[in-house]
Amino acid sequence: MSEWETVVGLEVHVELATKTKLFSHAPNRFGDAPNTNITPVCLGLPGSLPVLNRRAVELAMTVGLALGCDIRPSVFHRKNYFYPDMPKDYQVSQYDRPICVDGSLNLPNGTRIGIERAHLEEDAGKTTHLGGEDGRIHGADQALVDYNRAGVPLLEIVSQPDIRSAEDARAYVEELRAILIAVQASEARLEEGSMRVDANVSVRPAGSQELRTRCEIKNLNSLRSLQRAVSYEAQRHIGLYEAGAEPSQETRHWSEDGRTHTLRSKEEANDYRYFPEPDLVLLNPDAAWIKEIADTMPELPAQKRDRLIDVASVDLETAATIVNRGMSQLLISAVDEGADPRRAVTHIIQNLAIDGADELDPAHFVELVQMEESGDLTATQTKQVLGEMVTTGLDPGSIAQNLGFESMESEQLDALVDAAIEENSEAWEKFCEGEDKVQGVFVGAVMKASKGQADGKAVAAILKQRRG
Ligand code: MN
């Protein structure tokens, strides 16, 4: 049986988080009423002229530098095509001279994936087909078009065909997304379309260096779809080769029935008749501007993970979960302030996988961990207080008080322990003879008498003390 290797390159489009569009002052905003965020520039009306958005260029450079790219002088081109979602009948994009080239992205597992380029371009509008299946064009009898998205700044990030499995394709997009969010370049929401993934998939005999015919799967809008589509497509190619056939180069569509389907045969670059956009000049960021961007680069996810591993002694997977949930600063502050790292990590992983947890006040979180450590709150109470902290934003002391979780005064607790010993004198004799397992009798009695407010550990400590 022959062995096959999967070869994947990914093209990821991300909407840049600017206030306005790439070449006009129309707002860049998701979810507004259709066809309200439009200027003559967005529609390509005669006499309108594009003005390049400085912030979009800065964000493109930020992402490029975060991916280790060189920032180059770049040229905008017109890419001509005739779909109703593009009112101008061309898209302004960068073609042979993109702004960012030759970078790389390291997956958390250590695999290095080359980045060929990242270029700026404008988004198209959004077409909605009615009357067909799943909003698709086939069988539809109406098409509605919304130009709010036309002209929104996109960065298209193109990887080298260095990805060797569906799992790594997913890990690449996860890591890229974490970087985009860390540098605040994009909200990178796959489900809202602010991050869109196309996968170029082929297979080859393991060990060979050739690149065989690839198929491009368009618009994968979740990590799960990406992983399933890549693995399906690779199997499809293997099946064709093993049957003595060959895949043909084409664009395919992933449908949730678990298959890819032919969409169209792949366009060649010359189908688009690229030519330089005559209304824009060369974009040539000077060294000082590039340095300014580099100097303000925030900490990237890989660095954050390393720091968590160092500060809180967590494993890589735990560190990645905490970073991806935006909780690394909370953990680091908590440990800095003297919280027990293990306890803090446990809460973050197990009890804080909830909306709004990333906005938790670190000082409140430390206070809570310390209340638990000192026995003022039981584990169950701590968890409940934590949930309230996220929803109300209040400090743990007030919440514990509101919930009636005040720790028992030690005299009160002493009295309850005395009563429990008196009521269970036989068990007490056994305990004094060293039979530790009867301890539960007393702890249970005290818990019952205190309606669950006593701290089991504190009771156990008193019992050991009494036994002498
Ligand atoms: Mn593109």
Written as six digits, the tokens of 342 are 């293990």
Question: What are 175-186's pLDDT values in tens digits?
Answer: 999 999 999 999
Q: Domain end: 361, 388, 403, which one?
A: 403
Task: Give the Å distance between the CA of 232 and the centre of ligand 1.
Answer: 24
Mean pLDDT of all residues in the chain? 92
Residues 448 and 314 in one domain: no
Does residue 224 form part of some domain? no
Going from the Cα of 93 to the center of ligand 1, the distance in angstroms, rounded, reads: 7
The percent of residues above 70 in pLDDT, for the chain, comes to 98
Q: Are residues 78 and 196 in the same domain?
A: yes
Which residue, of 349, 378, 403, is where some domain finishes? 403
Q: Is 417 a member of any domain?
A: yes
Residue 216 lies in a domain: no
Rg of the chain over CA atoms, in angstroms? 30
The reply to whether 116 falls in a domain is: yes
Q: What is the 404 CA–ligand 1 centroid distance (Å)?
A: 58
Both tokens of 83, joined, read: 């779909």
171 & 315 share domain: no
Question: Which pLDDT score, from 0 to 100, does residue 428 have?
Answer: 93
Find the 302 Cα to ligand 1 centroid distance in Å. 27
* Residue 255, domain member (yes or no): no
Q: Is residue 243 part of a domain?
A: no
Check residue 350 and report its DSSP letter.
I
**CA dist., res. 66 & res. 300, Å (int):** 8
Does residue 414 share a domain with residue 317? no
Quote the ligand 1 centre to 94 CA distance (angstroms): 9
Q: How confident is the model at residue 374 (pLDDT cuts 50, 70, 90)?
A: confident
**How many angstroms is it from 4 CA to the middle of ligand 1?**
30
Q: Which residues surround ligand 1, an ion (CB under 5 A)?
A: 156
Structural domain boundaries, residue 177? 4-209+266-294
Specify the pLDDT at position 170: 97
Coil, strand or helix: which one is 343?
helix
Over 80: is that where the pLDDT of 198 sits?
Answer: yes
Does any domain span residue 153? yes
Pair 178, 66 in one domain: yes
Distance from residue 408's CA to the centre of ligand 1 (Å): 64
| Number of domains, the chain | 3
Looking at 183-249, list the stretches that DSSP marks H as alpha helix, in order from N- to C-terminal side: 223-242
Residues 50 and 129 in one domain: yes
**182 and 309 belong to one structural domain:** no
Residues 369 and 427 in one domain: no
C-alpha to C-alpha distances, 352 to 316, 318, 347, nearest whole angstrom: 19, 13, 6
pLDDT classification of 267: cutoffs 50, 70, 90: low
Q: Which one of 294, 312, 334 terminates a domain?
A: 294
Shared domain for 339 and 462, answered yes or no, is: no
Determine the distance separating the centroid of ligand 1 and the alpha carbon of 119, expressed in angstroms: 8
Q: Among the ranges 135-139, 351-355, 391-395, which has the highest mean pLDDT value?
A: 391-395
**Do the beta carbons of residue 74 and residue 98 sit within 8 Å?**
yes
pLDDT at 408 over 70: no
341/377 same-domain check:
yes
Distance from residue 13's CA to the centre of ligand 1 (Å): 7
C-alpha 156 – ligand 1 centre gap (Å)? 6
- What CATH code is carried by the domain that includes residue 450? 1.10.10.410
What distance in angstroms lies between residue 58's CA and the mean position of ligand 1's atoms?
Answer: 19
Residue type, position 260, single letter: T
Q: Give the pLDDT confidence score for residue 1 in this predicted structure.
A: 47
Is 256 among the domain residues?
A: no
Provide the pLDDT confidence category of residue 407 given band limits of 50, 70 and 90: low
Output the CA angle 106-344-180, nearest 5 degrees.
30
- Would you say how long the chain is, in residues? 468
pLDDT of residue 305: 94
The predicted-structure confidence for 89-141, as pLDDT tens digits, reads as follows: 999 999 999 999 999 999 988 999 999 999 999 999 998 889 877 777 778 88
**Ligand 1 center to 350 CA (angstroms):** 40
**399 with 359, same domain?**
yes
Query: pLDDT of 205-229, one tens digit each?
Result: 999 999 999 999 998 999 999 999 9
Distance CA 160, CA 113 (A): 7
Pairing between strand 215-220 and 250-255?
parallel
Show Cβ contacts of residue 324 under 8 Å, excluding neighbours closer than 6 positions. 174, 178, 301
Q: Dihedral of CA 238/244/247/253: which sign?
A: negative
> Residue 92 Cα, ligand 1 centroid: separation in angstroms?
10
- pLDDT grade, residue 263 (50/70/90)? confident
Is the pLDDT at 447 greater than 90, yes or no?
A: no
Tell me, in angstroms, the distance from the centre of ligand 1 to residue 325's CA.
Answer: 29
160 and 59 in a single domain? The answer is yes
> Distance between CA atoms of 216 and 341, rounded to whole angstroms?
45
